[in-house]
Amino acid sequence: MNAGARLYEEAAKTAAKGVRTLVTPEGAALNVKLASIGDRFGALVLDVLFIFLAIAAFGLFMAWVGSLGVPTLALIVWLLVFFGVRFFYFVYFEIAWRGATPGKRIVGVRVVDRGGAALTKEAVLARNFLREIELFLPMTLLLSGAGFGLGALISLAIFIWIVCLLIVPFINKDRMRAGDIVGGTLVIRQPKPILMEDLAASQTADGFAFTREHLAHYGAFELQTLEALLRRPPGPVRNDTMAAVHARIAAKIGWTRAEPSTEAFLRAYYRALREHLERQALFGLRKKHKHDEPQKPTAPEG
C-alpha cells in the first residue's frame, strides 16, 4: 500500500471514530453513533434534577397533607415515594420509554443492547442498580461530608474506588460505564431522520460523452466526496469549490472542452463515474480511491 492509499485508510478510520456496529438478530450490521461523555453527563444532570424536583415537590405536598392532621401518614408516604423514585426512576423510564429517560430524551440519546438484540428488563435493572456505587454513593459521601463516620483510611479507599469507577467511561473505547458493562448495553445518539434525493436519478449525462479512460482515474472515495460537494447548500463558497474541482478533474482526465456550466459538468461526471464504478463492482472490481488498483478476485494466477 503506498503512502497516498494509507492516507485514505486513515481518513476512513477517523470518520468511523465514535461509530460502533450493532449486528441485528437478522445478521445485518447497523452503524450507530456513540453518545459522547458530554451528552450522557447532560442527560444525567437533567435526570438527577428531575428526581430532586419530584421528591421535593412531593415532599412539599405531603407536608401540606401532614398539616391537615396526619403527619405520620404523610411522612411514611413521602419516604416510600422517595425510595421508589430514587431506585426506580431510571428503571421505569428505560423500560416504559424503550431505553430513554426524560433526560436522555431531551439530550437525544438512547440505551441499546450491545449485541443488537432487544433491550431486556434484566439489562435495565442491572445497569441502573450499579448506579448505587457510581452515582448515589458518591453523592451521599459528598453531601454527608466525611462519609459514614469511617476512619480516614477507609474514606480514602472509598474515594479512590469511586474515582476508579468514574473514569471507567473515559478509558474504554465504547464509553461504557460500570452499569453498561454489567447490563451489556451501549448508549447511542438517537438517529435523526434523513431523506435525501438521489442525485443520479434526477439527471442524465446527456451531452457528455465520457469514455472509460475519462472515468478510470477515480474511485468510490472521490465519487462520494464529489457527491457531498454537490449536496452543499448553494453559495459563493460552493461555487468557488466547484470551479476548483472542475479544473482539477478536467486537468486529470484530459477534458479539454470548455464547459459553460461548471455544475452541469460535475453532475454529469458524477453520474457517469457512478455508473462506471457500479458496473465495475458487479465484476468484483471495487476501486476504493484513486490510488487503489483493484484486482479481479477470481482471476486465475500466472
Partner 1 sequence: MSEGLKSAVFRREREATWRRLQSLVRKAEEKGLRALTTEELIALPQLYRATLASLSVARDVSLDASLIAYLENLSLRAHLFVYAVRETFGQAVNGFFGETLPRAVRAAVAHVVLAGAALALGATVAYALVMGSDEWFYAFVPEHLAGGRTPDADVEHLRSTLAGGGGGEGGLAIYATSLFVHNAGIGLFAFALGFAAGVPTLALLFYNGAVLGAFIALFVSRGLGAEMAGWLTIHGATELFAVILCGAAGLMVAGAALFPGDRRRLDAMAETGHQAAVVAAGAVPLFFAAGLLEGFGRQLIEDTGTRLAIGLGIFGLTITYLALAGRERR
Instruction: State the Cα angle at 284 between 281 and 285, rounded to 5°.
Output: 65
Where in 26-45 is the site for partner 1 (CB under 8 A)?
26, 28, 30-32
Using DSSP, state whether 33 is helix, strand or coil.
strand
In this chain, which of 14, 72, 256, 298 binds partner 1, going by CB under 8 A? 72
**Residue 71, all three cell numbers:** 403527619
Indicate the angle between helix axes 152-171 and 37-67, nearest 10 degrees: 130
By the rule CB under 8 A, 232 interacts with partner 1 = no
Identify the CA nearest to 115 among candidates 30, 38, 24. 24
Q: Smallest distance, Å, CB 180 to partner 1?
A: 9
If one asks whether residue 248 binds partner 1 (CB under 8 A), the answer comes out as: no
Residue 120 in the binding site for partner 1 (CB under 8 A): yes
Binding test (CB under 8 A) with partner 1, winner from 38, 145, 149, 234: 149
Q: Are 54 and 61 in contact (CB under 8 A)?
A: no
Q: Minimum CB separation from partner 1 for residue 286, in Å?
A: 9
In the set 4, 10, 24, 60, which binds partner 1 (CB under 8 A)?
24
46: its cell numbers = 437533567
Interaction between residue 282 and partner 1 (CB under 8 A):
yes
Q: Give Cα separations from 220 to 208, 250, 285 (angstroms).
A: 21, 18, 11
| Residue among 171, 225, 192, 182 nearest 32 (CA) | 192
- Identify which range of 49-57, 193-201, 235-243, 245-253 contacts partner 1 by CB under 8 A: 193-201
Residues 127-146 that bind partner 1 (CB under 8 A): 129-134, 137
The smaller minimum CB distance to partner 1, of residues 34 and 130, is found at: 130
Q: Smallest distance from the beta carbon of 169 to partner 1, in angstroms?
A: 14
Please state the φ and ψ torsions of residue 112, each to the nearest 5 degrees: -130, 160
Please tell me the total number of residues recorded for the chain in this structure.
302
For residue 164, the SS3 value is: helix
Query: CB 137 → partner 1: shortest distance, Å?
Result: 7
Instruction: Collect all residues with Cβ–Cβ distance below 8 Å to 182 and sequence separation of at least 6.
Output: 126, 127, 130
Name residue, grid cell 455544475: 263
Is 80 near partner 1 (CB under 8 A)?
yes
Tell me: does residue 119 bind partner 1 (CB under 8 A): yes
Q: Does 216 bind partner 1 (CB under 8 A)?
A: no
Binders of partner 1 among residues 87 to 116 (CB under 8 A) are 87, 92, 94-96, 98-99, 110, 112-114, 116
Does residue 177 touch partner 1 according to CB under 8 A?
no
**Closer CB to partner 1, residue 147 or residue 256?**
147
